[in-house]
Structure formats: C-alpha cells, structure tokens
C-alpha cells in the first residue's frame, strides 16, 4: 500500500470515529414554539443527540450558560439548541428560561397625559444605567434612571425615579413574562417601605399589565389595567403610563410636594 492510500484510509477512519455533528440532528425535525436566547437555570444539564432522556449525551451546559433555542420539538419538551454559532443538540425545556435584551442604545423619551383622571401630564426621559445580576439566584435586569417633568394646572414640578426590567421571566419558567418596576424611594413610610409600582410584560400576548403598587394607601382604585406592547420600548412607555396612573391623587400631591412625605415624622 502506498503512502497516499494509507493517508486516505487514516483520514477516513478518523472521520468515521468522530461523533455525529449536532447540526445534522436537526434535519427533518419539526420545530415550533419560542425561539431566541435562553439561560440555563439548573446547575448542570445534559445535551443529547435525540430529544429524549435515553438519547446519547453529546455535551453539558452549566448554570447561567446562554444558548440560542431554535425551537421546541413538536410533541416533546425538548429544545433544539445552538451555542456560539454551533448546533449542539437537544436540551430538556424546563431547564432553560427565555431571555430578552432590555437595554437602550439611546435615551427613551415620551409624554404621558393623566389630566383626564385629575392627575398631572408628564414628560419623561429613560436612561439605561447598566445591568444587574444576582449572585445567589438566576436573575438579570436592565436598570434605568428616569427623569420626569410634570404639570398639573399652573403647577410644574420635577422628580427622579429608578426603574428596572427583568431580562429573565419572573418565575424563571418557560413563559416569557418579564417584570417592570418603577421605584420612588424618596416617597417612603419607613425603612425599605417606599412607593413602587410593578407591571408585567407578556411577550407572547404582546401586552403589559399592571400588577401591584407597594403602598396600598397611595394606590388608585381600579388600577389593574393593560396596554399593548409589541417590543421593549413600547413596554417601557406603556408600563410607565399604567404605573403613574396607578398612583392615587394623594400620592401625586406628595410627589409634587403639596403634602408631606408619609415617612417624615415631627420631632418628639
């Protein structure tokens, strides 16, 4: 046998010994459902060659690893996943949670009219302040600083607030529902008891809905309402509108400085 033939046989043997590439595993597989970036929520999970527990292991993913989901294999609870541009295999769906990118490349500005409810009209500017990631739990959020300028009648006032949108679902499950919270820490009744309002952004339903106001005494009646939200920017704007409207008239008087902060106490 000449060297050329020996070399050819050696290469062919090596190629035959290589494991089947994951990119071939997705051929003829019927995929549907949620696609896009997902985060691993379990400590360690297996990637398999076929979408079932008996499938050959072709790799592993660690907690907080990020992958691209190509879809759910119909009739199963298994995702086809890709990482760093390479097709990996199949992962059990409950081990992953869908992610969104809630960052802003530029300030988001807008106007919110509440005058028909005898509340102020406000303009705002939302500035992206970075991301926060918890060490002990799997939680990632986009943080913002919000500047408001409001007018009610002849009165004009300004105030600042903090805001965040979670980039993973609130329950770390498969449903793409994300928390949007507006915090006004200066309006407080006690230590860590400040005015805030939380809305939930449902990507599947393309809507944002009011969920809660932290201080019931400053909560408006019939505040649980919904608005459409086709993307992150619209979700932020409409969440703000719902949240500001969820504050009672008394809350607005405190924000405007017409009533004392409920946390202020007269000296004894």
List, for residues 125-170, the tens digit of each pLDDT value.
999 999 999 877 889 999 999 999 999 999 999 999 999 999 999 9
User: Cα dihedral sign for 161, 167, 168, 169?
Assistant: positive
Q: What is the mean pLDDT of residues 167-188?
A: 95
User: Higher-confidence residue: 146 or 190?
Assistant: 146
Per-residue model confidence (pLDDT) at position 10: 41
Average pLDDT, the chain: 89
Confidence of residue 267 (pLDDT cuts 50, 70, 90): very low
The answer to whether residue 98 scores a pLDDT higher than 70 is: yes
| Whole-number pLDDT of residue 9 | 41
How many CB atoms are located within 10 Å of the residue 109 CB?
12
pLDDT at 264: 73
**C-alpha angle 169/172/177, rounded to 5°?**
25
Residue 140's pLDDT is 95
Residues 6+ apart with CB under 8 A from 83: 61, 65, 66, 67, 68
Predicted pLDDT at 138: 85
pLDDT of residue 13 exceeding 70? no
Cα–Cα distance for residue pair 133/98, rounded to 1 Å? 16
Distance from CA of residue 81 to its chain's centroid? Answer: 20
**Spatial contact of 210 and 134, defined as CB atoms under 8 Å apart:** no
Indicate whether 18 pLDDT > 90: no
Evaluate whether 120 touches 256 at the Cβ level (below 8 Å): yes
Q: Retrieve residue 107's tokens.
A: 């300030």
Residue 5 has pLDDT above 60, yes or no: no
- Residue 24: pLDDT over 70: no
At 265 the pLDDT is 56
Q: Determine the average pLDDT of the residues in 156-185.
A: 96
Q: Which residues contact 70 (CB under 8 A, 6 or more apart)?
A: 26, 31, 35, 79, 80, 81, 82, 87
Flag whether pLDDT at 266 surpasses 50: no
* Reported confidence tier of residue 29, pLDDT bands at 50, 70, 90: confident
Residue 11 has pLDDT above 50, yes or no: no
pLDDT class for 12, splitting at 50, 70, 90?
very low
């Amino acid at each position: 046998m000449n060297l050329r033939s020996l070399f050819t046989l050696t290469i062919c043997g090596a190629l035959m010994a290589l494991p089947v590439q994951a990119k071939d595993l997705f051929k003829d597989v019927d995929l549907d459902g949620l696609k896009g970036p997902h985060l691993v929520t379990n400590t360690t999970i297996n990637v398999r060659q076929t979408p079932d527990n008996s499938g050959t292991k072709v790799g592993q993913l660690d907690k907080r690893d990020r992958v691209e989901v190509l879809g759910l294999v119909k009739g199963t609870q298994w995702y086809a996943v890709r990482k760093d541009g390479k097709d990996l295999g199949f992962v059990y769906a409950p081990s992953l949670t869908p992610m969104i990118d809630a960052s802003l490349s530029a300030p988001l500005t807008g106007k919110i009219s509440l005058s028909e409810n005898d509340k102020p009209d406000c303009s705002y500017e939302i500035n992206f302040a970075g991301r926060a990631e918890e060490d002990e739990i799997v939680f990632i959020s986009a943080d913002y600083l919000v500047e408001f300028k409001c007018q009610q009648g002849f009165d004009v006032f300004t105030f600042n607030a903090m805001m965040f949108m979670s980039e993973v679902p609130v329950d770390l499950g498969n449903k793409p529902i994300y928390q949007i919270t507006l915090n006004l820490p200066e309006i407080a009744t006690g230590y860590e008891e400040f005015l805030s309002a939380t809305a939930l952004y449902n990507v599947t339903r393309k809507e944002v809905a009011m969920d809660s106001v932290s201080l019931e005494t400053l909560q408006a009646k019939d505040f649980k309402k919904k608005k459409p939200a086709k993307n992150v920017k619209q979700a932020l704007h409409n969440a703000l509108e719902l949240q500001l409207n969820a504050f009672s008239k008394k809350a607005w008087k405190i924000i405007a400085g017409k009533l004392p902060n409920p946390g202020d106490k007269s000296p004894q």
